Amino acid sequence: MTPPFEMIIIGGGCAGLSLAMRLTSLPEKKRVLIVESRTEYRNDRTWCFWGTDSAQLRHLVSHRWQSVSLQTQDRKVKVDCRAAPYEMISAETFYAATLQKISQHPCIELATGTALTSEPWRDGDLWRIETTAGQSAGRILIDTRPSLPIQTGEAVLWQSFSGQEIECDEPVFDPTSATLMKFLPVEDARIPFVYVLPFSPKRALVEFTVFSPIPLSADELSQGLELGIAAEVGAAEYSVGRTEHGILPMGLTKPAPRAQPSSVRVGVSSGGARPSSGFAFQRIQRWAQACAEALLAGDAPVAHAPDSWSLAAMDKLFLRVLRARPEFSPNLYLSLFGVKTPHSLIRFMSDQATPADCASVVFSLPAWPFLGEIPNFISRRKYKIAGGPIA
Ligand SMILES: Cc1cc2nc3c(=O)[nH]c(=O)nc-3n(C[C@H](O)[C@H](O)[C@H](O)COP(=O)(O)OP(=O)(O)OC[C@H]3O[C@@H](n4cnc5c(N)ncnc54)[C@H](O)[C@@H]3O)c2cc1C
Concatenated DSSP letters of 338-357: T-S-HHHHHHHHTT---HHH
Q: Closest Cα to atom 21, ligand 1: which residue?
A: 14
The pLDDT value given to residue 374? 73
103-119 mean pLDDT: 95
Model confidence at 387: pLDDT above 70? no
HSE, side-chain direction, 13 A CA sphere, residue 205: 21
CA of 93 to the centre of ligand 1 (A): 15
**Which residues contact residue 54 at a Cβ distance below 8 angstroms, ignoring those fewer than 6 apart?**
350, 352
Q: What is the mean pLDDT of the chain?
A: 92
Of 385, 42, 105, the residue nearest 244 (C-alpha): 42
* Rounded distance between C-alpha atoms, residue 93 and residue 249, angstroms: 25
pLDDT band at 120 (very low <50, low <70, confident <90, very high): very high
The pLDDT value given to residue 380? 61
The pLDDT value given to residue 170? 97
353-380 mean pLDDT: 80
pLDDT band at 391 (very low <50, low <70, confident <90, very high): very low
Q: Closest Cα to atom 3, ligand 1: which residue?
A: 45
The pLDDT value given to residue 110? 97
Q: 42: how many CB neighbours lie within 10 A of its CB? A: 10
**Angle, helices 342-349/329-337, rounded to nearest 10 degrees:** 120
134-156 mean pLDDT: 92
The pLDDT value given to residue 388? 40
Q: Closest Cα to atom 41, ligand 1: which residue?
A: 116
- The response to whether residue 68 sits with its C-beta less than 6 Å from ligand 1 reads no
**Contact between 248 and 280 (Cβ < 8 Å):** yes
The pLDDT value given to residue 80? 94
Model confidence at 375: pLDDT above 90? no
The pLDDT value given to residue 381? 59
Kindly give the pairing relationship between strand 177-183 and strand 67-71.
Answer: parallel
CA of 13 to the centre of ligand 1 (A): 6
The pLDDT value given to residue 41? 98
Residue type, 85: P
Q: Closest Cα to atom 31, ligand 1: which residue?
A: 13
Of 70, 93, 94, 79, the residue nearest 18 (C-alpha): 94
Q: What is the pTM of this model?
A: 0.94
Signed CA dihedral, 215, 220, 224, 229: sign only? positive
Best residue among 8, 42, 45, 276 to mutate for probing ligand 1's pocket (most ligand atoms within 8 Å of CB) is 45
Kindly give the pairing relationship between strand 63-65 and strand 155-168.
Answer: unpaired
- The response to whether residue 22 sits with its C-beta less than 6 Å from ligand 1 reads no
Model confidence at 26: pLDDT above 80? no
**Contact between 45 and 197 (Cβ < 8 Å):** no
**Contact between 348 and 361 (Cβ < 8 Å):** yes
136 burial class (0-12, 13-18, 19+ CB within 10 angstroms)? buried
Model confidence at 279: pLDDT above 50? yes
The pLDDT value given to residue 17? 98
- The response to whether residue 249 sits with its C-beta less than 6 Å from ligand 1 reads no
pLDDT band at 152 (very low <50, low <70, confident <90, very high): confident
* Rounded distance between C-alpha atoms, residue 329 and residue 41, angstroms: 36
**Contact between 267 and 13 (Cβ < 8 Å):** yes
- The response to whether residue 120 sits with its C-beta less than 6 Å from ligand 1 reads no
* Rounded distance between C-alpha atoms, residue 333 and residue 31, angstroms: 47
In the chain, which residue ranges form alpha helices assigned H by DSSP? 14-22, 91-103, 218-233, 281-296, 309-324, 329-337, 342-349, 355-364, 368-379
175-202 mean pLDDT: 97
Of 154, 131, 356, the residue nearest 275 (C-alpha): 154
Q: Closest Cα to atom 34, ligand 1: which residue?
A: 11
Of 367, 260, 266, the residue nearest 19 (C-alpha): 266
193-207 mean pLDDT: 98
325-352 mean pLDDT: 91
Best residue among 19, 22, 34, 37 to mutate for probing ligand 1's pocket (most ligand atoms within 8 Å of CB) is 37
At 292-306, the pLDDT tens digits run 999 999 999 999 999
* Rounded distance between C-alpha atoms, residue 354 and residue 344, angstroms: 8
pLDDT band at 14 (very low <50, low <70, confident <90, very high): very high
**Angle, helices 309-324/368-379, rounded to nearest 10 degrees:** 110
At 223-237, the pLDDT tens digits run 999 999 999 999 999
The pLDDT value given to residue 342? 86
- The response to whether residue 94 sits with its C-beta less than 6 Å from ligand 1 reads no
Best residue among 47, 65, 243 to mutate for probing ligand 1's pocket (most ligand atoms within 8 Å of CB) is 47
The pLDDT value given to residue 257? 66
The pLDDT value given to residue 383? 52
* Rounded distance between C-alpha atoms, residue 376 and residue 171, angstroms: 49
Of 368, 340, 342, the residue nearest 353 (C-alpha): 342
Beta pairing partners, 194: 182, 208
Per this entry, what is the length of the chain? 391
CA of 37 to the centre of ligand 1 (A): 12
Model confidence at 98: pLDDT above 50? yes
The pLDDT value given to residue 192? 98
The pLDDT value given to residue 238? 98
The pLDDT value given to residue 389? 36
Model confidence at 88: pLDDT above 60? yes
Model confidence at 368: pLDDT above 80? no
Of 266, 257, 382, the residue nearest 324 (C-alpha): 382
CA of 81 to the centre of ligand 1 (A): 27
Model confidence at 32: pLDDT above 70? yes
- The response to whether residue 15 sits with its C-beta less than 6 Å from ligand 1 reads yes
